[in-house]
A and B are shown apart, each in its own frame.
Chain A
Amino acid sequence: MAAEQKMTYETWPASPEKQTLEAKNKFLGFWFFLGGETVLFASLFATYLALKDKVPNSDMALAKDLFEIPLAFIMTMLLLTSSLTSVYAMYQMKNFNFKKMQLWLGITVLLGLGFLGLEIYEFNHYVHEFHHSFTSSAFGSAFYTLVGFHGAHVAFGLLWITTLMIRNSKRGLSLYNAPKFYVASLYWHFIDVVWVFIFTVVYLMGMVG
């Protein structure tokens, strides 16, 4: 099927994200990229675990002094819910309902913004209340690199989804842009996959000691 073909509800295929050659390549290439991202984040996790609580003197804050359950919990819920809303968006994409897909993507972006706002508040809190900064200790460097890299992924994902929504707002769905939306939603889920390990390894294991 040609990418530029005008589609209707009747002609819209079951897997609109994989109809053209470009779409198939995009799908494969994106999963290859996610495999690489897994290695990247694993090495940041490895660095964090090796340098956790490595501070130059005993009055500096350790993981168990810094992290609080309620904030980590709210951030986790926001990101997890945004994962579900992007599943809803892809469901509407498969039903050829462009407006509802845009609506669910919009909700996803709002939840992601809420997450990012809380993360900024959190980092600011650590720097001002605990003097826990990027340069204060090896622990600080490893923490901000890992969690900050994830935060940067969230910020990039938000920009990506918003750009797609604006660029295609007057075009409607086609076999040309359906794979673009699909791949962006895969990226968004992957951000949540990484966060599951961050809240477990950094926050929960940090509080346990």
Chain B
Amino acid sequence: MANQQPNSGNPRVDIEYRRKKSAEEMKHQVITFAMMIFLTIVAFVAAGYEGFSAWFIVPFILILAIVQVIFQLYYFMHMSHKGHEAPALFLYSGAFVGFITIIAFLTVIWW
């Protein structure tokens, strides 16, 4: 909740509190980054490994990509913070329309 204004009546205490809060948040961001690197490496290894069939690899790496994008949106782009209702509406509407477009294009060439 780094975007909340604490109110102790003592500005010095508030600044210390906020600094600590945002340092803590930065630590979470670095953990998120480490997880994103890990997911990326898993995806590259899975795609490069000969033993798996494409029927396993393709859905698997797509799920990894979606997880990684959720990290990016909610942590790096702060969508987990308060006041992001409208951004969520905009982004999900865009993703919904985009998803339908992709499904339409893919099915058009299948049948």
Is the CB–CB distance between A205 and B5 below 8 Å?
A: no
Convert A85-111 into 0s and 1s, putting 1 for each residue whose CB lies closer than 8 angstroms to a CB of B: 001100100110000000000000000
If over half of A's interface residues share one DSSP class (helix, strand or loop), that class is named, otherwise mixed; here it is helix
Contact status of A46 and B101, CB under 8 A, knowing A10-B11, A14-B5, A39-B94:
yes
Is the CB–CB distance between A46 and B91 below 8 Å?
A: no
Is the CB–CB distance between B62 and A200 below 8 Å?
A: yes
Is the CB–CB distance between B72 and A193 below 8 Å?
A: yes
Interface of A toward B, CB cutoff 8 Å = 9-10, 13-15, 18, 27-28, 31-32, 34-39, 41-43, 45-47, 49-50, 69, 72-73, 76-77, 80, 83-84, 87-88, 91, 94-95, 186, 189-190, 192-193, 196-197, 199-201, 204-205, 207-209
Interface of B toward A, CB cutoff 8 Å = 2-6, 11-12, 15, 18-19, 22, 25-26, 29-30, 33, 36-37, 40, 43-44, 46-48, 54, 57-58, 61-62, 64-65, 68-69, 72-73, 76-77, 83, 86-87, 90-91, 93-95, 97-99, 101-102, 104-106, 108-109
Q: Could you pull out 27 A-B pairs where Cβ atoms are within 8 angstroms?
A: A9-B15, A10-B15, A14-B2, A15-B3, A28-B86, A28-B87, A35-B91, A38-B95, A39-B97, A43-B105, A45-B102, A46-B102, A69-B48, A72-B44, A83-B72, A84-B76, A87-B33, A87-B76, A91-B25, A91-B26, A95-B19, A186-B77, A189-B72, A196-B65, A200-B62, A200-B64, A204-B61
